[in-house]
């Protein structure tokens, strides 16, 4: 718990996203970034019954002691936690439909159109003439065809798909992916129990 209580936000961010091998003898920071609609989920401490804690090999008393310690530290609440977040990822492009999964729900009409797409034979996909409320669906349809049925693409669509792959799979993005993967592996080392330490 001491790094969480003693370090400033910039140092915390650096420590959180530095590979464990590069940290040397520095202790890991017992903190977990939680996203909406992603695991892990948060629940009141009272939902973890003693028998569930034992089954999951979680030291419930240790967790409750850490919670009490955090409540006694007003500086923790005053810390600028947004500065602890990683710098914006090169991997998530705002204009890329593949990374816009949580950017809004599709309308009933769009979902009905998607059902038609899934029920259509691959050879008939290019002839579909559907209108969608969300511009994302037409882009998703193109990528669905390109990934799963590349033989349904005409010459212009094949060039468009090739260009997209060149943009997504360039050396800079692959390197950024590897760095982010290493940082996440470091952050999540120890599995779900690491998240319970705080």
If one counts the domains in the chain, the total is: 2
**Token pair for 70:** 């955090």
More confident residue, 99 or 126: 126
78 shares its domain with 105: no
124 or 177, which is more confident?
A: 124
Same domain membership, residue 141 and residue 75: no
- What pLDDT was estimated at residue 47? 85
192 pLDDT more than 70? no
Dihedral pair phi/psi, residue 186, rounded to 5°? -65, -45
- Boundaries of domain holding 79: 2-87+182-196
DSSP 69-121: HHHT-HHHHHS-GGGGSPPPPSS--TT-GGG-TTS-PPPHHHHHHHHHHHHS-
Q: How far apart (Å, rounded) are the C-alpha atoms in residues 157 and 155?
A: 5
pLDDT tens by residue, 74-118: 776 666 565 565 555 555 566 778 777 666 788 899 999 999 999
- According to the model, what pLDDT value does residue 163 have? 93
Both 104 and 158 in a single domain? yes
Say whether both 159 and 188 belong to one domain: no
The whole-number pLDDT of residue 106 equals 84
C-alpha span between 32 and 194 (Å, rounded):
8
Q: Do residues 66 and 31 touch, judged by C-beta distance below 8 A?
A: no
Q: How distant is the alpha carbon of residue 179 from its chain centre? A: 15
The yes-or-no verdict on residue 146 having pLDDT over 50 is: yes
Same domain as 65, residue 131: no
Do 123 and 186 lie in one domain? The reply is: no
Peptide bond into 150 cis (omega under 30): no
Q: pLDDT for 32-62, tens place per residue?
A: 767 766 777 777 878 888 898 899 888 888 8
Q: What is the pLDDT of residue 67?
A: 82
């Amino acid at each position: 718990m001491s790094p969480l209580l003693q370090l400033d936000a910039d140092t915390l961010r650096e420590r959180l996203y530095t590979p464990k091998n590069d940290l040397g003898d520095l202790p890991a920071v017992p903190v977990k970034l939680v996203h909406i609609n992603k695991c892990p989920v948060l629940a009141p401490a009272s939902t973890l019954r003693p028998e569930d804690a034992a089954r999951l090999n979680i030291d419930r008393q240790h967790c409750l002691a850490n919670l009490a310690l955090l409540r006694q530290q007003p500086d923790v609440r005053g810390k600028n936690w947004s500065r602890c977040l990683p710098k914006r990822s090169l991997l998530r492009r705002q204009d890329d439909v593949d990374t816009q999964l949580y950017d809004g729900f599709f309308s009933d009409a769009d979902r009905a159109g998607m059902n038609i797409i899934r029920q259509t034979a691959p050879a008939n996909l290019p002839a579909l003439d559907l209108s969608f409320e969300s511009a994302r669906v037409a882009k998703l349809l193109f990528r669905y065809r390109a990934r799963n049925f590349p033989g349904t693409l005409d010459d212009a669509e094949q060039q468009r798909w090739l260009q997209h792959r060149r943009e997504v799979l360039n050396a800079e993005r692959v390197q950024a992916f590897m760095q982010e993967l290493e940082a996440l592996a470091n952050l999540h080392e120890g599995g779900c129990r690491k998240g319970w330490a705080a």
